[in-house]
Structure 1
């Protein structure tokens, strides 16, 4: 494919909850933004906000010199960059790929080498903060890459993040730190679910239990954030069970590469895998508690009438 002269546009590939938030924050910061997603209705929703959209990464590459990837996994990264209608063939030399998906550090290192060979820059830049912070431009970015990559991506990073951690000068370091975060996040959610199951099984009122624990040493950010989903019986996926099946599998895979035993992460992975196998994979990750409901006489809080009717 013949390469075209780059514009100053920022492309966002993947307009899910996080990607749409990032694209909207970039747009709100005054940057020209082009969105790309497999869903036509999602693309239309971004256009309704004042952005532009295209159907394929190749179309996006022809008009952008900074591309932000907010897809689900390494397979999707591979597809949108190197697959049919992928972006790499159409990006002008010196263009920047900001790769935000949670992937194995080994994949991030390999991807950086391949993009360098193609004449492109890469920031290994996984993100944390959730959809709300993505929309407000307040994400935390765990990043690594060259000085040239940071310079090229400065405007986009400033628009999408409250904090950009610079962790190294080559891809891999950012994904390594994100993997530690996902290890802890997954373990803490699984532990919070088990702790609530224990308390409720002993007859403790779940709202009272939440109040006490959030003011005690056993509290965690995940306990405080996810247990209200259980109390409200609202499993609308802000971050789905299957995300932690994926991420904890990457933790497990990386542990094998390092010959590092991680039995706590392995136990959490089993709980998320069980929840997914029971049909809860697309529900909020707090739905991991439903494993205990399936295995015992545990009675979980039920949605109130307003929630059943879909009212706010």
Structure 2
């Protein structure tokens, strides 16, 4: 497996594609934004002018897109899957509902290809460092075939099973914790603000104490900035926590913390901040406390 197409050169997708190139794969990437295609080309990759070009004759294609609907449209609505090399593999790395992934995998297999369900965790930091955690599900020979590709993007590649959707299920559990950790970190820092505590000093304390979490250490400083760089948008967590709640509903599992976190992100999105960095969930607390939420 040498030639890789890559669709979705966003804040995570671009460094992932670049890392594939560094690992020796021939990477051809496509994104609707010309600047993203140019950035890949500047880093040594090949910029595709269309989806068909990104897929054409490739051994595998990575889909780092927004959701399952977008992946389905690319593969079937725009018929890009038909451009893959015979036996070529589609690697879906977006966060999607497990049932949607299973249905998409069945369609891909019926078309003569295979799909690897491989969502990631680790954010922009992990994407840039090549240290993502990748939760992969596919038939074992297919997983083995794409393992070197996954290893180029992640430091922890976990085989979740042979049924598509098992990777997506693991990602849902992961996102429950990420969303809840992020919301509670925002609650703590908003309390410090409200009480007049030095927020930088407070962040230093909690980041290095038993109260710490990865999400706090990664997002805490940006919660205190007026206009932080966007590494993952509020609306991403609106989507992801919606997937978590859907999984819980299907399993008849009560998820009160996930539901509350989802409402907080939703309230911030409803204020017109959906495209802002997800650290700005703190705006929900500022609004509840009668302070400037923006």
Report the TM-score range of the alignment, normalised by the length of the smaller protein: over 0.9
2:215 is the counterpart of 1:222:
yes
Among 28, 42, 47, the alignment partner of 1:48 is: 42
Distance 2:101 2:173 in 1: 15
TM-score, structure 1 as length reference: 0.89
Q: Which runs of 4+ in 1 moved over 3 A?
A: 297-300
Task: Report the alpha carbon displacement of residue 297 of structure 1 after superposing the two structures with TM.
Answer: 4.0
Task: Report the alpha carbon displacement of residue 22 of structure 1 after superposing the two structures with TM.
Answer: 0.9
Give the match for residue 77 of structure 2: 83
TM-score, structure 2 as length reference: 0.94
Distance 2:206 2:12 in 1: 30
Structure 1 residues 157-236: aligned runs within 5 Å: 157-236=150-229
Structure 1 stretch displaced more, 17-26 or 258-267: 258-267
Number of residues paired by the alignment?
294
Distance 2:252 2:87 in 1: 37
Distance 1:231 1:130 in 2: 19
Larger radius of gyration: 1
Distance 2:129 2:25 in 1: 15
Cα pair 2:57 2:85 within 8 Å, conserved: no
Distance 1:118 1:69 in 2: 17
2:82 is the counterpart of 1:95:
no
Distance 2:248 2:125 in 1: 31
The answer for unaligned runs of 5 or more in structure 2 is none
- Cα distance change, pair 215–54 in 1 and its aligned pair in 2 (3 A): closer
Structure 1 residues 231-250: aligned runs within 5 Å: 231-250=224-243
RMSD: 1.8
2:106 is the counterpart of 1:118:
no
Deviations 1:247-269 (A, max 9, x none): 01111122222222211111101
Distance 2:229 2:208 in 1: 26
Distance 2:45 2:207 in 1: 41
Deviations 1:246-296 (A, max 9, x none): 101111122222222211111101100111111211111110111222333
2:100 is the counterpart of 1:107:
yes
Cα pair 1:40 1:55 within 8 Å, conserved: no
